[in-house]
Amino acid sequence: MSELLWDEPTFIGKLREVGAGIYHDKHPFHVVMNEGRLSPQAIRGWVANRFYYQINIPIKDAALLSNCPLRDVRRIWIDRIIEHDGREGNEGGIEAWLRLGDACGLSRADLLDSRNVIPAVRFAVDAYVTFARTQPWPVAVASSLTELFAPDLMAKRLEAFKTHYSWVQPWGFDYFSRRVTQARKESDYALKLTLTHCNTPALQKAAVDALVFKCEVLWAILDGIAGKFPPTPPTT
Amino acid sequence: MSELLWDEPTFIGKLREVGAGIYHDKHPFHVVMNEGRLSPQAIRGWVANRFYYQINIPIKDAALLSNCPLRDVRRIWIDRIIEHDGREGNEGGIEAWLRLGDACGLSRADLLDSRNVIPAVRFAVDAYVTFARTQPWPVAVASSLTELFAPDLMAKRLEAFKTHYSWVQPWGFDYFSRRVTQARKESDYALKLTLTHCNTPALQKAAVDALVFKCEVLWAILDGIAGKFPPTPPTT
């Protein structure tokens, strides 16, 4: 019977366990990517498909905003949309990802035309947006907590790209660099909100499930990409 | 058969006709309010119930944002949320309405507790939020075009309050003053979006219907308030 409210360390422990278990840094495609074993075509496929996730993040965050009756929370959460969409004089995360595409030899048109997005990727990303539209906002907040695990992944990815994919123009990596610090700041706040507003046993459980769901979304994205761009065998 | 695309002047004419016909400046409650014939209790009732509309505007705009795939549009539309919710060092429209309440002798708690909102008001406002969640975003944009008619109404209301309701502290009127210019700026952009993106006969028709619907929302709000706070008979 798990009818009792977890204390804060227990709750945080349950959330962190999810990341330790199934965060997508452990997906075979991701492992192979960091080992430097992806072809330029596979890297481009990853960048182009992952872009579909990027462009849906502000949509997801606006859905969450629209479900949140607390003005003080909205005042802070809205920065995520601005961080991604940008404003006059601040390019924003989507633009940074377009530059990453450019650095890989993909045109803006290649990225912006989402007709070629792999179906498995589309379904996974759309499921995430639907989740944010339909779940209580504190549960949607909890689903963003993969950002707790993102800074490590970003730092390692940045190293891997610089080491193994020197054909990618280094000025393309701004997105990764900006996320290292940004993800930390955002996840601190999201964790605080989760701990405060997921304040019943049912909501705590829903928060952990939301984080599992979000890890599944990220995992399914890589499944789709790996299916279309299988890694080359190791050259031992 | 209205299967042809209206040219721009015709389309604008149809939209303006809606305002001329059924905008809530013509509602009996509103007429009586501007004539100075409302009791303090009725003015307070109007301020408190209308607040439920105010606090739902950012929710509505976030829903629209979440349905809009165009980053350039989102970058501008997001300012409406900030305009209402405010940010650090910028109080925002909701806060200004709270000050109006204070100037009428209503505490923040009175306004923030929405348990006393008149059911007809709640249903009307909730219908507006649902509309923005479920309609195509350009149609939701069109529903905001009551702002085309707002500056006139605000200017007249400001005069009426200063003339007839001198018991209301004048520092409470910031909300009205800020909306005179803000509504003009916002409706210019919303009209431009409507003309550009409601670009089929069906969408043009939907835009006009959306504006009718929005006028009905505003009208129903006043119906509810008038039902609970009937105007005193004229003292002729």
Closest to B62 (Cβ–Cβ): which among A66, A86, A94?
A66
Whole-model pTM: value is: 0.89
Q: Position of tokens 């182009």?
A: A48
Structure tokens, B199 = 């670009």
- Residues whose CB is less than 8 angstroms from the CB of residue B176 and which lie 6 or more positions away in sequence, other chains included: B100, B154, B157, B158, B161
CATH 3.40.50.450 fits A8-228, yes or no: no
Q: Considering only CB atoms, which chain B residues are within 8 Å of A75?
A: 85-88
What tokens were used for B106?
């209503």
* Per-residue pLDDT band at A231 (split at 50, 70, 90): confident
Closest chain B residue by Cα to residue A67: B59
Of A29, A32, A21, A35, give the one whose Cα is nearest residue A159: A35
B178 contacts chain A (CB < 8 A): no
Which residue of B65, B75, B86 is in closest CB contact with A62? B65
| Residue-wise pLDDT tens digits, B199-216 | 999 999 999 999 999 999
Reduced DSSP (H G I as helix, E B as strand, rest coil) percent helix, strand, coil of chain A, to 5: 80, 0, 20
How is residue A195 written in tokens? 């701990």
Instruction: Tell which A residues from 128 to 147 touch B, by Cβ distance under 8 Å.
Output: 133
Mark out the alpha helices in B106-200 (DSSP H runs). Answer: 108-112, 119-134, 137-143, 150-164, 174-197
pLDDT greater than 90 at residue A180: no
Q: B71 to chain A, minimum CA–CA distance in Å? A: 6
How many other β-carbons are positioned within 10 Å of the β-carbon of residue B34?
18
Which residue would you say has higher pLDDT here, B90 or B95? Answer: B95
Whether the per-residue pLDDT at A2 is higher than 70: the answer is no
Whole-number pLDDT of residue A179: 86
- Any A CB within 8 A of B73 CB: no
Give pLDDT, residue B134: 97
pLDDT at site A178: 85
CA atoms within 13 A on the CB side of A49: 26
What tens digit of pLDDT does each residue of A17-71 get? Answer: 999 999 999 999 999 999 999 999 999 999 999 999 999 999 999 999 999 999 9
Confidence of residue A236 (pLDDT cuts 50, 70, 90): low
Q: What is the mean pLDDT of residues A198-218?
A: 97
Interface predicted TM-score of the whole assembly (ipTM), two decimals: 0.83
pLDDT value of residue A165? 96
Give the model's pLDDT for residue B236. 55
Please judge whether B66 and A62 are an interchain contact, meaning their C-beta atoms are less than 8 angstroms apart.
yes
**Rounded distance, CA B58 to CA B21, Å?**
27
Q: Is B78 at the interface with chain A, CB within 8 A?
A: yes
Helices A150-164 and A174-197: angle between axes, nearest 10 degrees: 170
B16 band by pLDDT with thresholds 50, 70 and 90: very high
Which residue in chain B is spatially nearest to A83 when comparing CA positions?
A: B75
Of B63, B78, B86, the CB nearest to A66: B63
Is residue A151 within 8 A of residue A158, CB to CB? The reply is no
Asked if the model's pLDDT at residue B127 lies above 70, the reply is yes
Record: contact A62-B59, CB cut-off 8 A: no
Interface test with A, best of B52, B71, B125, B131 (most A CBs within 10 A): B71
DSSP bridge partners of A90 = A87
Mean pLDDT value across chain B: 94
